[in-house]
Amino acid sequence: MKYRIYLFITIIVLSACSHKKDVQVERIANVKYISVTDSVYASLPGRFFYQNKKIYWEDATGSENFMHMIDATTGKGLYCFANKGGGPGEFTNPVPSLLPQGGICIKNLENHLAVLYKPSADTLKETITAFWGGGRWSNAVAIDDTTITYLYPGKGMPFQFQRKSHIIHFGHAPIGKTCTNGYDRFQGPVKYNDERKILVYCTFDFPYMAIYNMSNEKFKLIKEMNEPFEYSVNNANIHLNDDTPFGTFDMDMTKDYIVALRCDKTYENIITRRSYLENPLKRPQSVFVYNYNLQLVKIYNFPFGLLRIAGDLKSNDVYLIAMKPEYEIIKFKIQ
């Protein structure tokens, strides 16, 4: 009788293990894509967004009219706007993000200045405003015209939700160790999905991703993805191994998926801290596709480097700034 019980338990365990092994990630090569435009004239395209048939891209090294808006259907340029400088409404260190209700918010890193740019008919409406909050934040996403969420990568609770003078701190650091160099180690892309009321956060330096629910100002970690990597803590500093693979270079969302620019080790050479120093222009050639439970479901492999990614929250269309080797905006659909 005992033998039968042990045999039954063994079968159940083996069946569970077998089920886990059967989970396969689909890889897609020879991706069918279309070119939106090859008129991306910048030494370094910065942040990149899609919204309501419009594409916004930032010329990270430009000074005058460093933000560009183009028609995503025709590739035609619509507006160039926003200037760097010390004058009224100008930016010394701009941080653009989408306004979920339409348009772009550019927040200055150095002070409280923020400017809202909203397309309306044949014009682009510009509103100078302010989002309060100081200290060493490195990224920010607009929630609406009066609300912003900051990323403070050096803090134990790295996110600060702020609506006028109303402030809520939430979240936790990707590595549960007390450290003094979290500002450097924990930087990465942050995006807000107003359709699902979630915030998604990734890190550049190592593989990590987290999803936070932001409904009704009740902030809760839904899911996080931790992949093993080597590091040590010395004198309260986190030290990464030179062969630690980089995490996510850029990230966004579509209707059904989270999409991330990462290196696929079965298809391309992994970019590590060591290899990046040898070739800082190297970029991943793969789009990792996760569902909203952070399960990796597909990987799209491209024959060229990928610099930026933007998703359509109304569909599963994905836009990329590709290095072919000139910069080109392309589009494909997750099938």
Predicted local distance difference test score (pLDDT) of residue 30: 94
Question: What tens digit of pLDDT does each residue of 122-161 get?
Answer: 899 999 999 987 889 999 999 999 999 999 999 999 999 9
pLDDT bracket for residue 102 (50, 70, 90)? very high
Q: Assess contact for 110 and 92: CB atoms under 8 A.
A: yes
Spatial CA neighbour of 62 closest among 82, 79, 78: 82
Q: Would you place residue 243 in the very low, low, confident or very high pLDDT band (cuts 50, 70, 90)?
A: very high
Distance between CA atoms of residues 306 and 277, nearest Å: 18
Mean pLDDT of 193-209: 97
Intra-chain end-to-end CA distance of the chain, in Å: 51
**In the predicted structure, residue 14 carries a pLDDT above the cut 60:** no
| 176 pLDDT tier (thresholds 50, 70, 90) | confident
Minimum mean pLDDT range among 1-15, 87-101, 248-262, 280-294: 1-15
pLDDT of residue 23: 57
Structure tokens at 204: 């550049």
- Position 19 pLDDT exceeds 60: no
Q: Specify the pLDDT at position 171.
A: 97
CB 44 within 8 A of CB 38: no
Which pLDDT band holds residue 199 (cuts at 50, 70, 90)?
Answer: very high
What share of the chain has pLDDT > 90, as a percent? 85
Summarize the confidence of residues 236-241 as an average pLDDT.
Answer: 93
Is the alpha carbon torsion for 266, 272, 275, 276 positive or negative? Answer: positive
All residues at 6 or more sequence positions from 2 whose CB lies less than 8 Å from its CB, including other chains: none
| Confidence (pTM) | 0.92
pLDDT tens track for 61-85: 999 999 999 999 999 999 999 999 9
Q: Three-state SS for 182?
A: helix
Encode pLDDT of 38-50 as tens digits.
999 999 999 999 9
CB 117 within 8 A of CB 101: no
- Residue 334, pLDDT > 80, answer yes
* Residues ≥6 apart with Cβ < 8 Å to 203: 174, 185, 186, 187, 188, 247, 248
pLDDT value for 113: 95
- Residue 308 tokens read as 């930026």
Cα(199)–Cα(190) distance, integer angstroms: 7
- pLDDT of 16 strictly over 60: no
Confidence of residue 58 (pLDDT cuts 50, 70, 90): very high
Q: What pLDDT does 10 receive? A: 40
What is the rounded CA–CA span in Å between residue 158 and residue 173? Answer: 6
Give the confidence band of 12 by pLDDT, cuts at 50, 70, 90. Answer: very low
Q: What is the 3-state secondary structure (H, E, C) of 1-41?
A: CHHHHHHHHHHHHHHHHHHHHCCCCEEECCCCCEEEECCCC
Higher pLDDT residue, 80 or 5? 80
pLDDT value for 1: 46
Q: Does the pLDDT of residue 2 top 70, yes or no?
A: no
8 A C-beta contact, residue 197 and residue 144 = no
pLDDT of residue 52: 96
Q: What is the pLDDT at residue 4? A: 45
Task: Assess whether pLDDT exceeds 80 at residue 17.
Answer: no
Average pLDDT, rounded, for the chain: 92
Q: What mean pLDDT comes out for the span 88-101? A: 96
Candidates 152, 47, 40; CA nearest to 97 is: 47
Give the residue from 221, 266, 231, 271 showing the smallest Cα distance to 249: 271
